[in-house]
Structure 1
Amino acid sequence: MKRIFLAVLLAGALASCQSNQKNETSQAETSAVANNAADNGSAVPDKDAPVITWERETFDFGTIKQGEKVQHDFKFKNTGKTPLIISNASASCGCTVPEPPKEPIKPGAEGVIKVVFDSNGKEGMQDKGITITSNANPTMSVIRLVGEIKAN
């Protein structure tokens, strides 16, 4: 009888330890995920964060001949309360090259991202996205060049 009682007591204690260990692991994982989200910039920005307000988010260049280059200046304004810093501008392919401003854009000030698209080797309908990463709210925005390329 004593052996059965000891076995039940030991099994209960062992199960209790495993349950606590799982809870501690789960809490640690939750904390690590929250810390990674903050480190990756996916946390909600401050209410005073800059805001990019685009004059136009999509530019339709119409129909062009293969080999022509299209240039467009995407104009924007910082409608937030703090300086806007664009940390990266990357295109969906190497045929599209964005040039963001290097200096911070003060609240209320305007800026331009110059984009050049080279249609060499392209044909048909095109939709080129340029992802802008900044300290704005939201931290990422996408502008687009769209149009059609006719083969020579």
Structure 2
Amino acid sequence: MKKLILFASAIALSVGVFAQEAQVKKAEDVVKFKELSYDFGKIKQGTPVSHDFAFTNVSSSPVIIESAIASCGCTTPVKPEGAIQKGKDDKITAGFNAANAGPFNKSITIKVAGIDLPLQIHITGEVLTADAYAKYEAAKNKTGR
């Protein structure tokens, strides 16, 4: 009889744990981004660039973007202030200051108020020195691309 009670208790506890896991909310459940990554391609060193990550509030109530935190100081996210009403669109602008030459892959972590799990958006590309960028542009113009 003790084994049966112990077994029943273990099952009840397991069901409770699974029920809590099912209630974990993700940012993707309330905001739907048109894209989660953007490739700037080749950009000139020292020239800031930016890209707008558009999203829609797909929840049944207003949402607030609590924070947008970049993985480094060279990336500057700008989030909307205030609540985004259900069904409405908004954007997070990802700015990047191309200080160092070479490829880059940066992330921005988006936290939605009242949601347990944040989401990440990414920017990638390659920073070229002024000379290398001039050669790249000349070759691109020569081929017509």
Task: Please tell me whether the aligned partners of residues 77 and 109 of structure 1 are also in contact (alpha carbons under 8 angstroms).
Answer: yes
TM-score (norm 1): 0.65
- The residue type paired with residue 119 of structure 2 is S
1:151 deviates by 2.0
Give a deviation string over 1:36-94, Cα, whole Å, max 9, x none: xx9xxxx7239xx9611001110110001111111111100011111111111110001
Moved over 4 A (4+): none
Query: 2:83 is paired with a residue of what secondary structure?
Result: coil
Alignment root-mean-square deviation, CA: 2.4
Partner of 2:25: 45
- Residue of structure 1 in register with 2:108 after alignment: 130
**Alignment-derived partner of residue 120 in structure 2:** 142
The answer to whether the aligner puts 1:104 opposite 2:87 as a matched pair is no
Q: CA deviation at 1:138?
A: 5.8
SS in 2 for 1:56: coil
User: Which residue is equivalent to 2:45?
Assistant: 66
User: Which letter maps to 1:64?
Assistant: I
Q: 1:148 to 1:66 in 2, by over 3 A?
A: same
Q: Using the alignment, how far apart are the partners of 2:44 and 2:60 within structure 1?
A: 44
Where 1:82 maps in the other structure, the secondary structure is coil
Asked whether the equivalents of residues 50 and 78 of structure 1 are also in contact (C-alpha less than 8 Å), the reply is: no
Q: How many residue pairs end up in the alignment?
A: 109
The answer on whether the counterparts of 2:24 and 2:117 sit within 8 Å (CA) in structure 1 is no
Contact 2:58 2:86 in 1 (8 A): yes
TM-score, normalising length from structure 2? 0.68
**Percent identity among equivalent residues?**
36
Greater Rg, structure 1 or structure 2? 1
1:115 positional shift: 1.5
What letter is aligned with 2:93? K
Aligned partner letter, 2:70: A
Which residue is equivalent to 2:92?
A: 113
